[in-house]
Amino acid sequence: MSTANGHDFYGHSKYFIDNFSEFEKNYGVRGNFESLYYKYPTSEERWAYLSKHGTLMFDTPPGQTYLDLYKLIKDKNYFIISTNQDMQFSKLFPDEKICLPQGDAHWFQCGNPCHDEVYYAEEMLRNMADNIVDTRIPTELIPKCPVCGGEMEPWIRSYVLLEGGLWKEGIKRYQTFLNENSHKKVVFIELGVGRMTPNIIKYPFSQMTYNWQNAFLVRINQGEAPTPMLKNKSITMDADIAQVLHDLTSHM
Ligand SMILES: [Zn+2]
């Protein structure tokens, strides 16, 4: 979804080169994913990257693929589950219609983690990003847990991701939607789901399509292989998501 907008999280994209060349020069990192999980020598350097990346995510308007998807489904009975961590869905779709099992970069949590609470990150991120000097923030701006004093962490997939209250609320919303609609005509639309975490979206979508009488699966992703097991209940499009969604909006 985001790669199709030019915000490639994994590759050495124009977006990365335009915004993070200092980090490439200092650490040899060549993409946002690599930069996010890179072992920086100091917390001040790590938070320089995290705050620059985080602030940009807050400031980036929704991309065309998201605008087109919104136009296509906003008046339907829909629900979104996404492993994307770039805030794009939240810019258009209401929170009660989204489940983000890999976390949501709007929030920080304790890095230990000592308690189950998340903290809205925007102000801390902006303050850090405004004070970066040569890929480093001042030590006193490193965000600290108000309970134990340990360093905070973005609330995104890591060894310490809190899967407590807020996380469970999202999963529950998703489960409720599935339970309420399993007997109806359902279209699962799988957009750009790769092979990294197939147990979250890819396998469950296949399984539900197979088991639900009136379900149909549409898979759109460049390089995607067909799903022979679901040959009468699915379409696989090895295509550019941006192009497909935009073409669809012209048929509305
Ligand atoms: Zn703590």
Taking 90 as the threshold, does the pLDDT of residue 195 lie above it? no
CA of 153 relative to ligand 1 center, distance in Å: 10
**210: phi then psi, degrees, rounded to nearest 5:** -65, -40
How far is CA 192 from its chain centroid? 12
CA of 154 relative to ligand 1 center, distance in Å: 13
**129: phi then psi, degrees, rounded to nearest 5:** -60, -35
Is 214 domain-assigned?
yes
Is 197 domain-assigned?
yes
Is 129 domain-assigned?
no
Distances (CA, A) of 127 to 82, 134, 168, 181, 208: 28, 16, 30, 44, 45
CA of 115 relative to ligand 1 center, distance in Å: 6
Nearest residue to 52 (alpha-carbon basis) of 128, 138, 139: 128
Is 34 domain-assigned?
no
CA of 81 relative to ligand 1 center, distance in Å: 29
Helix (H) / strand (E) element for 122: namely: helix 122-130
Is 178 domain-assigned?
yes
Cis before 143? omega within 30 = no
Taking 90 as the threshold, does the pLDDT of residue 190 lie above it? yes
Is 205 domain-assigned?
yes
Is 33 domain-assigned?
no
Over residues 215-225, mean pLDDT: 93
CA of 29 relative to ligand 1 center, distance in Å: 29
Q: Domain count of the chain?
A: 1
CA of 49 relative to ligand 1 center, distance in Å: 22
Is 149 domain-assigned?
no
Over residues 192-198, mean pLDDT: 86
Domain region containing 202: 64-102+164-249
Over residues 64-89, mean pLDDT: 96
CA of 166 relative to ligand 1 center, distance in Å: 17
Q: What is the pLDDT of residues 85-110, one digit of tens each?
A: 899 999 999 999 999 999 999 999 99
CA of 144 relative to ligand 1 center, distance in Å: 8
pLDDT in the model for residue 167: 96
Query: Which residues, 6+ apart, have CB-to-CB distance to 215 below 8 Å?
Result: 185, 186, 187, 188, 208, 209, 233
CA of 57 relative to ligand 1 center, distance in Å: 25
Q: What does the block give as tokens for 124?
A: 């801390």
CA of 109 relative to ligand 1 center, distance in Å: 8
pTM of the model: 0.93
DSSP annotation string for 173-185: HHHHHHHHHTTS-
